[in-house]
């Protein structure tokens, strides 16, 4: 997973292309730390996706993983 997330200033970050959550879904499918966030905070129709995870932290055009 670290190959997709990049370590920037001590934070594991995944840059997101506008509404393409393909990588986000692939990564979450193989992640032991995934916890679905509240439905109201989800932005991908496929639930198991890093952008829907309660352990992600939104940044501008990117998310930070607090589980890694």
Contacts 24+ apart (CB under 8 A), 42-46: 46/21
Cβ proximity to other proteins, 3 vs 45, nearer residue = 45
Answer for which of 5, 12, 21, 34 binds other proteins (CB under 8 A) is 21
The answer to whether residues 51 and 16 touch, using CB atoms and an 8 Å cutoff, is: yes
Answer for which of 7, 14, 56, 68 binds other proteins (CB under 8 A) is 56
Q: Which two tokens stand for residue 44?
A: 């991908």
Report the interface residues with other proteins, using CB under 8 A: 9, 11, 19, 21, 35, 37-45, 54-60, 66
């Amino acid at each position: 997973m670290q190959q997709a997330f990049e370590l920037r200033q001590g934070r594991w970050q995944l840059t997101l292309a506008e509404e393409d959550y393909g990588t986000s879904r692939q990564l979450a499918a193989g992640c032991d730390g995934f916890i679905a966030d509240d439905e109201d905070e989800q932005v991908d129709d496929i639930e198991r996706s890093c952008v829907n995870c309660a352990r992600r932290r939104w940044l501008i055009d990117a998310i930070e993983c607090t589980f890694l």
